[in-house]
Structure 1
């Protein structure tokens, strides 16, 4: 039985809508049970106790309808920044589904982040939202192959199922692509892994690959990450400590070369990679003129 928690409000206005063009951010759940070893949301600064235990915000759909109705103009609602909206409980609770229905009825757009193939259940609602305003779905994929993805993200579907979900979304005409982030130094920063993700994104019909070339580590999150590295990749946490010390941002070695590789591969496969181009393409109907 999932615990319900009270929330004063759901929508938080975004001061600068530079992150995929979202005007508002919203999290319907608190905590996440995917078990991703690198998750930033586990950081102490967010004050989410017992992060692996998922809780749902009580009366979320009704609250969202009221808040949307109070806005003077429609905008894009970002979902999934802190907690995946398609956790295992969502299959029965349908809280995210009800929220998408409210967004569709209000004529707002959506910018959705997930690692779960369950998102395909709501393709019909995403089509409605797209037709009324705009819709973008970002599937986070950090490993081209399933063996590594299962070690990094043990309690969510493997990469192959996420690529299949991307294919289903693309076939329905939903603007979709891949968040290749974080890139983990010494783990997912190989040229083969990067090329594999970009190629499979293109084969699945995705429109973009957006990447950040390293990983951020903060209090609480850092120790959890190092503990998991010790369990699954012996010796790697020591390499992180010697390379990065206590740095917040841990860039992949040769990150400049990786960035150039991403741009080259995206050009080759006809994918967008720049944030302004991605926003323009799904919100403003822009063409992919910046590929070259």
Structure 2
């Protein structure tokens, strides 16, 4: 599994080819990416949306651009992804945001959350998926994660070990407070925030060609 818009896609055009097959055969599509490269295929996405359903999902976790470049190197920054979401909205393509993972003691703060939510409001996203303010660590990726903590946040590895040990789920100490804000802001702005409701929306096919006259 990988992002469908890795840099090599500029030469391979595999994702575009797959989208063209989907479009040609009348299917709908949803994909999830961290790349503004998705706009390269806007023409195909819009074509799919005219006869079926096209939803683009995008991950946003870190409002601060400098911090984003540390946590998510080699992908579009959060601001670039926000601008991509806004363009998709203006072109009639609905979007869903994944607000995960949130890293304890790094970006698990109210300022970061409100910045991301403000981007989502401005981009008119249909829904935001957030199960919890935290991160999961499996054996194998835990070691890699800790090595990066040592590199970019000296001393934080010990804080993680002391608090979480070898736990799989690492919830932020601010989880309850931040989740209250998340649900409240989404509710106030008409953004779906129940993940089951969002998954239902993604599974539901809406035929834009249907007309009430067809049933008379």
Same fold (TM over 0.5): yes
Q: Is the 8 A contact 1:183 1:212 kept in 2?
A: no
Q: Is the 8 A contact 2:104 2:171 kept in 1?
A: yes
**Structure 2 unaligned blocks of 5 or more:** 207-216
The alpha carbon displacement at 1:154 in A equals 1.2
- What does residue 212 of structure 1 align with? 131
**For the residues of structure 2 that align with 1:262 and 1:149, how far apart are their CA atoms?**
20
- What does residue 175 of structure 2 align with? 255
**Structure 1 unaligned blocks of 5 or more:** 1-81, 286-292
2:55 to 136, 142, 154: 136
- What does residue 108 of structure 1 align with? 27
Q: Is the 8 A contact 1:84 1:113 kept in 2?
A: yes
1:155 to 64, 70, 74: 74
The answer to which structure has the higher helix fraction is 2
**For the residues of structure 2 that align with 1:256 and 1:106, how far apart are their CA atoms?**
45
- Aligned residue runs from structure 1 range 173-212, under 5 A: 173-212=92-131
The alpha carbon displacement at 1:281 in A equals 4.2
**For the residues of structure 1 that align with 2:47 and 2:139, how far apart are their CA atoms?**
41
The alpha carbon displacement at 1:223 in A equals 0.7
- What does residue 268 of structure 1 align with? 188
The alpha carbon displacement at 1:230 in A equals 0.7
- What does residue 48 of structure 1 align with? none
The alpha carbon displacement at 1:274 in A equals 1.3
Helix, strand or coil: the match of 2:2?
coil
**For the residues of structure 1 that align with 2:153 and 2:188, how far apart are their CA atoms?**
33
CA RMSD of aligned residues (A): 1.5
Report the more deviating stretch, 125-134 or 84-93: 125-134
1:222 to 142, 165, 170: 142
- What does residue 122 of structure 1 align with? 41
The answer to whether the aligner puts 1:172 opposite 2:88 as a matched pair is no
**For the residues of structure 2 that align with 1:179 and 1:149, how far apart are their CA atoms?**
15
- What does residue 210 of structure 2 align with? none
Q: Deviations over 1:108-136 (max 9, x none)?
A: 22121100000011112112222332121
Q: Which has the higher contact order (CA 8 A, sep 6+)?
A: 2
TM-score (normalizing by structure 1): 0.67
Which 4+ residue blocks in structure 1 deviate beyond 6 angstroms?
A: none
**For the residues of structure 2 that align with 1:109 and 1:208, how far apart are their CA atoms?**
18
The alpha carbon displacement at 1:270 in A equals 2.4
Q: How many equivalent residue pairs?
A: 204
Relative to structure 1, is the Cα distance of residues 228 and 183 closer, same or farther in structure 2, using a 3 angstrom cutoff?
A: same
